[in-house]
A and B are shown apart, each in its own frame.
Chain A
Amino acid sequence: MSDYLLGIDVGGTFTDFVAYDKTSKAIDVWKNLTVPDDPTSGILQGISRLEDAAAIRNLRLGTTVATNAILERKGARIAYITTAGFKDIPFLQRGHREFHYDRTWSRAVPLVLRRHCFEIEERILSSGEILKPVSESSVRDVAQRIKELGDIEAIAVVLLFSYVNPVHEFRVRDLLHELLPEIPISISFEVLPKWKEYERASTTIADAYIKPILHRYLGDMETRFHAAGVLGKVALIKSNGGEMTPEAARQQPINLTISGPTGGVIAGRAVARELASDHVVTLDMGGTSTDCSTIINREISFTTDFEISFGLPIQIPMLDIRTIGAGGGSIAWIDKGGMLRVGPASAGALPGPACYGRGGDQATVTDANLILGRIDPSNFLGGAMPLNPAAAEAALAKLAEPLSMSIAQAAMAIVRIVNTNMVGALRTVLVERGLDPRDFALMAFGGAGPLHAAELITEAGIPRAIVPIHPGQFSALGFTLADARVDLERTVDMTSNRFDESRATEILQDLVQRGRAELEAQNYHDDIVVQSTLELRYLGQNYELEVPIDFEEFNAENRARLWQAFHQLHETRFGFKIDKEVIEMTTIKSAVIAITEKPEFMPLAANLRRTQKQNRKVYFADGAHDTPVYARADLRSGETLRGPALIEEAASVTVVAPGQRVAVANSGHLLITQEGSS
Chain B
Amino acid sequence: MRSTKDMDLVTMNIIESTMLSTCREMGITLMKTSYSTIFNEALDFTCGIASPQGEMLAAAEFCPAQIGGMPLLIKSCLEEIPLSEIEPGDVIVHNDPYRGGLHTPEHTLFCPVYVCDELVAFTVAIGHVAEVGGMVPGGFPSEATEIFHEGIRVPPVKIKKRGADVPEVWKLWLANVRTPRYNYGDMRAMIAGVEQGAIRLAEIIEKYSLATFKQTCADLLDYSEARMRAEIDEIPDGRYDFVDYMDNDGVSDSEIRIEAHCYVDGERIVVDFTGSSPQVAGPINATLGVAWSATYNAILHLTDPSIPKNSGCFRPIKVIAPRGTVVNVDFPAPEVGGNTETHPRIAGAVIGALAQADPSRGMAAEGGTHLNFVFGGQDQKNNEYFACYDIEVVGWGARPFADGNNATDSINGNCRVIPVEVFETRYPWLTEEYSLRQDSGGIGQYRGGLGTSKTWRCLDAEITCTQLTDRHAHQAWGLEGGGPGAPGQTLYQHDDDAPWQTMVEAFNKRSTSKWSNVKITQGERIRLLTPGGGGWGDTGARDPAQITSDVADGFISKGSAIDDFGRQVGDKS
A85-B432, A97-B409, A114-B555 known; A420 vs B61 contact (CB < 8 Å)? no
**Please, which residues of chain A bring their CB within 8 A of the CB of B415?**
95-96
Q: Is A77 an interface residue (CB 8 A)?
A: no
Q: Is B10 an interface residue (CB 8 A)?
A: yes
Question: How far apart are A549's CB and chain B's nearest CB, in angstroms?
Answer: 21
Q: Is B300 an interface residue (CB 8 A)?
A: yes
Contact with A along B347-373 (1 / 0, CB 8 A): 000000000000000010000000000
- Determine the distance from Cα of A96 to Cα of B416 in the docked complex, in whole angstroms: 5
Q: Using CB atoms, name the residue of chain A closest to B64.
A: A100
| B interface, size bucket | 35 or more
Q: Is A178 an interface residue (CB 8 A)?
A: no
Q: Is B417 an interface residue (CB 8 A)?
A: yes
Does A575 lie within 8 Å of B196, measured CB to CB?
yes
A85-B432, A91-B407, A424-B18 known; A540 vs B182 contact (CB < 8 Å)? yes
Comparing A11-19, A330-338, A361-369, A473-481, the segment that makes contact with chain B is A330-338
Does A428 lie within 8 Å of B21, measured CB to CB?
yes
Does A336 lie within 8 Å of B417, measured CB to CB?
no
Contact of B393 among A88, A95, A581 (CB under 8 A): A95
Q: Is A103 an interface residue (CB 8 A)?
A: yes
Does A196 lie within 8 Å of B35, measured CB to CB?
no
Q: Is A50 an interface residue (CB 8 A)?
A: no
Does A420 lie within 8 Å of B14, measured CB to CB?
yes
Q: Is A495 an interface residue (CB 8 A)?
A: yes
Does B17 lie within 8 Å of A101, measured CB to CB?
no
- Determine the distance from Cα of A575 to Cα of B452 in the docked complex, in whole angstroms: 40
- Determine the distance from Cα of A543 to Cα of B399 in the docked complex, in whole angstroms: 36
Contact of B307 among A96, A105, A337, A542 (CB under 8 A): A337
Contact of B9 among A160, A403, A498, A539 (CB under 8 A): A403
Q: Is A308 an interface residue (CB 8 A)?
A: no
Contact with B along A445-475 (1 / 0, CB 8 A): 0000000000000000100000000000000
Does B195 lie within 8 Å of A575, measured CB to CB?
yes
Q: Using CB atoms, name the residue of chain B closest to A425.
A: B21
Does A125 lie within 8 Å of B424, measured CB to CB?
yes
Q: Is A561 an interface residue (CB 8 A)?
A: no
A195-B422, A428-B25 known; A95 vs B416 contact (CB < 8 Å)? yes
Q: Is B230 an interface residue (CB 8 A)?
A: yes
Does A114 lie within 8 Å of B301, measured CB to CB?
no
Does B435 lie within 8 Å of A95, measured CB to CB?
no
Q: Using CB atoms, name the residue of chain A closest to B26.
A: A431
Does B405 lie within 8 Å of A126, measured CB to CB?
no
Question: How far apart are B535's CB and chain A's nearest CB, in angstroms?
Answer: 15
Q: Is B508 an interface residue (CB 8 A)?
A: no
Contact of B306 among A335, A340, A424 (CB under 8 A): A335
Question: How far apart are B418's CB and chain A's nearest CB, in angstroms?
Answer: 9
Q: Using CB atoms, name the residue of chain B closest to A105.
A: B405
Interface residue ranges of B382-438 to A (CB < 8 Å): 382, 391, 393, 399, 401-403, 405-409, 414-417, 419-422, 424-425, 430-436
- Determine the distance from Cα of A372 to Cα of B419 in the docked complex, in whole angstroms: 52
Does B230 lie within 8 Å of A336, measured CB to CB?
yes
Interface residue ranges of A588-611 to B (CB < 8 Å): none
Most chain B C-beta atoms within 10 Å of own C-beta, residue among A85, A161, A341, A542? A542
Question: How far apart are A426's CB and chain B's nearest CB, in angstroms?
Answer: 10
**Please, which residues of chain B bring their CB within 8 A of the CB of A539?**
382
Comparing B37-45, B137-145, B239-247, B559-567, the segment that makes contact with chain A is B37-45
Question: How far apart are A657's CB and chain B's nearest CB, in angstroms?
Answer: 16
- Determine the distance from Cα of A348 to Cα of B6 in the docked complex, in whole angstroms: 34
Question: How far apart are B42's CB and chain A's nearest CB, in angstroms?
Answer: 8
Q: Is A579 an interface residue (CB 8 A)?
A: no
A114-B553, A578-B185 known; A541 vs B14 contact (CB < 8 Å)? no
Q: Is B29 an interface residue (CB 8 A)?
A: yes
- Determine the distance from Cα of A84 to Cα of B9 in the docked complex, in whole angstroms: 56
- Determine the distance from Cα of A196 to Cα of B420 in the docked complex, in whole angstroms: 7
Question: How far apart are B356's CB and chain A's nearest CB, in angstroms?
Answer: 16
Contact of B13 among A86, A161, A420 (CB under 8 A): A420
Q: Using CB atoms, name the residue of chain B closest to A161.
A: B421
Contact of A498 among B381, B419, B424 (CB under 8 A): B381
Q: Using CB atoms, name the residue of chain A closest to B550.
A: A114
A88-B435, A99-B61, A420-B18 known; A540 vs B181 contact (CB < 8 Å)? yes
- Determine the distance from Cα of A541 to Cα of B9 in the docked complex, in whole angstroms: 41
Does B434 lie within 8 Å of A113, measured CB to CB?
no
Interface residue ranges of A551-598 to B (CB < 8 Å): 570, 574-576, 578, 581-582
Question: How far apart are B11's CB and chain A's nearest CB, in angstroms?
Answer: 9
Q: Is B254 an interface residue (CB 8 A)?
A: no
**Please, which residues of chain A bring their CB within 8 A of the CB of B185?**
538, 540-541, 578
Does B230 lie within 8 Å of A106, measured CB to CB?
no
Contact of A103 among B24, B301, B382, B553 (CB under 8 A): B301
Does A100 lie within 8 Å of B414, measured CB to CB?
yes
- Determine the distance from Cα of A89 to Cα of B452 in the docked complex, in whole angstroms: 11
Q: Using CB atoms, name the residue of chain A closest to B419.
A: A196
Does B421 lie within 8 Å of A197, measured CB to CB?
yes
Interface residue ranges of A478-507 to B (CB < 8 Å): 493, 495, 497-498
Interface residue ranges of A135-182 to B (CB < 8 Å): 160-161, 163
A125-B424, A195-B419, A336-B227 known; A103 vs B399 contact (CB < 8 Å)? yes
A427-B25, A541-B34, A543-B40 known; A86 vs B434 contact (CB < 8 Å)? yes
- Determine the distance from Cα of A274 to Cα of B34 in the docked complex, in whole angstroms: 40
Q: Using CB atoms, name the residue of chain A closest to B200.
A: A431
Question: How far apart are A196's CB and chain B's nearest CB, in angstroms?
Answer: 4
Q: SS class of chain A's interface: helix, strand, loop or mixed?
A: loop
- Determine the distance from Cα of A88 to Cα of B405 in the docked complex, in whole angstroms: 14
Does B419 lie within 8 Å of A197, measured CB to CB?
yes
Does B554 lie within 8 Å of A576, measured CB to CB?
no
A101-B301, A125-B424 known; A582 vs B382 contact (CB < 8 Å)? yes
- Determine the distance from Cα of A421 to Cα of B10 in the docked complex, in whole angstroms: 12
- Determine the distance from Cα of A543 to Cα of B381 in the docked complex, in whole angstroms: 20
Q: Using CB atoms, name the residue of chain B closest to A131.
A: B430
Q: Is B256 an interface residue (CB 8 A)?
A: no
**Please, which residues of chain A bring their CB within 8 A of the CB of B13?**
339-341, 417, 420
**Please, which residues of chain A bring their CB within 8 A of the CB of B435?**
85-88, 92
- Determine the distance from Cα of A576 to Cα of B433 in the docked complex, in whole angstroms: 40
**Please, which residues of chain B bring their CB within 8 A of the CB of A113?**
552-553
- Determine the distance from Cα of A424 to Cα of B15 in the docked complex, in whole angstroms: 11
Does B300 lie within 8 Å of A101, measured CB to CB?
yes
Does B433 lie within 8 Å of A101, measured CB to CB?
no
- Determine the distance from Cα of A105 to Cα of B404 in the docked complex, in whole angstroms: 10
- Determine the distance from Cα of A10 to Cα of B9 in the docked complex, in whole angstroms: 39
Does A96 lie within 8 Å of B409, measured CB to CB?
yes
Contact of B28 among A131, A432, A581 (CB under 8 A): A432
Contact of B14 among A95, A126, A416, A543 (CB under 8 A): A416
- Determine the distance from Cα of A100 to Cα of B184 in the docked complex, in whole angstroms: 30
Contact with A along B1-14 (1 / 0, CB 8 A): 00011000110111
A339-B13, A340-B9 known; A195 vs B421 contact (CB < 8 Å)? yes
Question: How far apart are A537's CB and chain B's nearest CB, in angstroms?
Answer: 9
Interface residue ranges of A166-220 to B (CB < 8 Å): 195-199
Does B300 lie within 8 Å of A100, measured CB to CB?
yes
Q: Is B223 an interface residue (CB 8 A)?
A: yes
Known contacts A89-B434, A103-B399, A115-B552; 16 additional CB pairs below 8 A are A85-B432, A86-B433, A88-B434, A91-B436, A92-B393, A92-B417, A99-B305, A100-B61, A160-B421, A338-B4, A338-B5, A339-B12, A423-B18, A432-B28, A542-B40, A574-B29
Q: List 7 A-B contacts (CB under 8 A).
A: A86-B420, A87-B435, A92-B435, A96-B409, A420-B18, A432-B25, A582-B382
Which of B's residues lie within 8 Å of A, judged by CB? 4-5, 9-10, 12-14, 17-18, 20-21, 24-25, 28-29, 31-37, 40-41, 43, 61, 64, 67, 181-182, 184-185, 188, 191-192, 195-196, 203, 223, 226-227, 230, 297, 300-307, 363, 381-382, 391, 393, 399, 401-403, 405-409, 414-417, 419-422, 424-425, 430-436, 452, 455, 552-555, 573
Pairs A-B, 6 closest by C-beta atoms: A85-B433, A542-B40, A540-B35, A95-B393, A114-B553, A543-B32
